[in-house]
Structure 1
Amino acid sequence: MLDGADAALTGVLRINEQGAGIAVYNVVGSFEAPTLKLTGTPAGEVEGVELGQFAATGTMNAKGEIQGDWESTIGTAGTFVLFPHAGGEQPDEVQRTEQFHTARHNFGAIEVDREQVIEIAENIRREFPAVIVTVVAGTEQSLYLDDFKELHFAVDRAEIIKVFAQRPDGAGANQVVSIEFGPQINTAMTQGANEAWVLGQLETLKRDLKRYERTYVTNFKRWGIGINQIMLLAAIVFLPSLSDLSDRAILMGIVLSLIVGVNWLHSRYVPFADIQLREKKTGWLGKAWPRVASWGIGIVAAVLETLAAAYLLGALEIPAPPVQPPSVETTPSNLGQ
């Protein structure tokens, strides 16, 4: 910091150089707008370091900064920049934290292929400068949309796929759109400082992605339940009809086993997110197979539960195998009798 009148400025300059310590200079100079002239003399000695006098000349710009050159009597030289000191100033208005709004929607089972993923990303890129597609298929790869279009995958299916886009909104915040399809959840998310934009963008995504949604027996979209909940509820309703505690335990064990079996078969043959990285089968069987398999699994499970309950109640009897008459052995001794 420099003090005094413009024609007779004085100050102290401290320079901290690595390996040399702090060198202190007494500085004098003058300022005739827009030029500042300074000279400095070492205020003391630094052991093992040669110090010399320096002279500096700089010019002030419109921001109040002074830029210029300096040189010393020992042959060193360089440039410098001086900034206005405003550390003690406080803003007149209280700074308010930006409010972010986030909206999400969870979909049911999803079935998409590579071309449909590209179509989803292209629709988002109409409003965003760049779109990133992340694919998890053994390893995870994050690619810009143009690179994703050119990539040929070695596997047929992906475990997870994400589509992400972000842009500044002009008010210092970011607007974000994120879509994720995977084995546990299929969701779309929007985020931004403008609540109306967040809600409107989410409704647009819901409308665009609804055509890829599939209704499986494990999830009735309208009521938010599936075959597993229905089987468990039916077992609870039926339990009071059984007088024996062991029969009740057997029924609940059968129902829980069926639920585990239904979930395992769906995860194996009817995934919650069927993501094809190559061209998807377009035949009617290829299109109908996931839903046919899902409903077939559910119907078989419900029938097995009904048969188990009827048997434990005594309304269903399993016929015993027919009794075979005892065989008579023929030996030479009894032939003569």
Structure 2
Amino acid sequence: MPLGHLWAGRVFGTNTGNLFLKLDGPDSDLVGTLHINDPHAGVAVFRVQGAFDGSRVSFSGEPQTVAEGMTLGQLKASGVLDPKGNLTGNWETTIGTAGTFMLFPHDHNEISSAVENSPDQLHTARHDLGAILIDRDELTALAQDIQSEFSAGKVVITVTVGGVQQSRFLADFNEISFSSDKATFAKIFVQEPMSIGGNKLVSIEFSQDTNYAMTQAPDEAWALGKLEKLKAQLRKFERFYTTNFWKLGFGINQILLVGTIICLPSLPDTQSRAILMFGVLLLIWMINRLHSLYLPFAAIYLGKRPEGVVSRLMPSLASWIISATAGIAATLLAAYLQGQWKLPWLNP
């Protein structure tokens, strides 16, 4: 791709100010004019010549116009073209001034092309997941599969261990050691520009509050198709807890509250109603507390996760046992307050 002919930007170092560079000729033999507006030294104009090899550009220049009372030396500068199409580099003169510069393309065809390629809309697709159980190898394999569809963007994996959050590129993630064998948070993120303009991205997050997968792109078909693929890949890591019947949108806590509201009118007085409501709220708190302590919403192992049928089924089974026990306790409390069930030591 040939170097553009119109550039504007800033100069830093022993001199600061605005730059405007106008070039002509082929990349191998560039000639042009450089205008520098330094607030203290005034306007200076250099006649420059140089060459561009596809990634690096080099210039030399002779002063043509200088403010009265100022002295300019011969100029040398070199820079590189970054992925965004901007030129950044260093400059120096024979009188000892030196610094850095940044130049941005201002060719009309470049600007028009950027406008034409800008997307009209970004399409976002998101899927909320249930409880997750995943280990380091599975997290890495998932990230590698995502990376295979991104040629320019690099996948970043972020984990929180012992209250400290660390982010690493995928290539470095398996090389580091952690102070604990479990993480409380994990995130996979990558983005890169699309040929039609805009960026496409994938973000997957596992935490103690929410687990989700999200895609975004100017291409709606890509965003929706990629999310469907992620949903299929993530399904094997999901666990079924009674606190969140994720396909239905509610859990055992909501069931207990609805049952309590239905039962309240059948109680004989306000005191009984208050006791039932307080008792059910206490049971809900205990359910949530036990789940947070022993059945985390995101179980992220930085080594191998527990193997075997018992290890796979025990978390869901324990969730059901906790919820069933709470449901029975709430039912017995309601029956007692209604007088349908008596305790010998309380009702002699």
Change (3 A) 1:55 1:92: closer
Q: Paired residue for 1:148, among 170, 173, 187?
A: 173
After superposition, what is the alpha-carbon deviation per residue over 1:243-299, rounded to whole angstroms, capped at 9, x for unaligned?
A: 201111110011111111111110011000111111111133322221121111101
Change (3 A) 1:94 1:203: closer
RMSD of aligned alpha carbons: 3.6
- Note if contact 1:40-1:55 (Cα within 8 Å) is conserved in structure 2: no
Aligned-residue offset at 1:167: 2.1
Structure 1 position 132 matched with structure 2 position 156: yes
The one-letter code of the counterpart of 2:139 is V
Aligned-residue offset at 1:300: 0.8
- Note if contact 1:14-1:22 (Cα within 8 Å) is conserved in structure 2: no
* Identity over aligned pairs, percent: 42
Structure 1 CA distance for aligned equivalents of residues 294 and 201 of structure 2: 34
Change (3 A) 1:39 1:108: closer
After superposition, what is the alpha-carbon deviation per residue over 1:99-120, rounded to whole angstroms, capped at 9, x for unaligned?
A: 2111111001111111111111
Structure 2 CA distance for aligned equivalents of residues 133 and 85 of structure 1: 37
The correspondence of residues 183-198 of structure 1 with structure 2, limited to 5 A, is 183-198=208-223
Q: Paired residue for 2:328, among 303, 307, 317?
A: 303
- Note if contact 1:218-1:227 (Cα within 8 Å) is conserved in structure 2: yes
Change (3 A) 1:254 1:167: same
Give 2:311's aligned residue: 286
| Structure exhibiting the larger radius of gyration computed from Cα positions | 1
**TM-score, length-normalised on structure 2?**
0.68
Aligned-residue offset at 1:154: 2.4
Gaps of 5+ in 2: 1-19, 21-33, 47-61, 76-92, 98-104
Structure 1 position 162 matched with structure 2 position 187: yes
The one-letter code of the counterpart of 1:218 is T
The one-letter code of the counterpart of 1:22 is G
Structure 1 position 123 matched with structure 2 position 145: yes
Structure 2 CA distance for aligned equivalents of residues 170 and 147 of structure 1: 28
Aligned-residue offset at 1:216: 0.7
The correspondence of residues 260-279 of structure 1 with structure 2, limited to 5 A, is 260-279=285-304
Give 1:22's aligned residue: 42
Determine helix, strand or coil for the equivalent of 1:150.
coil
Determine helix, strand or coil for the equivalent of 1:165.
strand
Structure 2 CA distance for aligned equivalents of residues 210 and 14 of structure 1: 60
The one-letter code of the counterpart of 1:165 is V
Give the length in aligned residue pairs.
Answer: 271
Aligned-residue offset at 1:152: 2.7
The one-letter code of the counterpart of 2:322 is I
- Note if contact 1:104-1:189 (Cα within 8 Å) is conserved in structure 2: yes
**TM-score, length-normalised on structure 1?**
0.70
Structure 1 position 173 matched with structure 2 position 198: yes
Give 2:232's aligned residue: 207
Structure 2 CA distance for aligned equivalents of residues 77 and 297 of structure 1: 77
Give 1:335's aligned residue: none
Give 1:244's aligned residue: 269
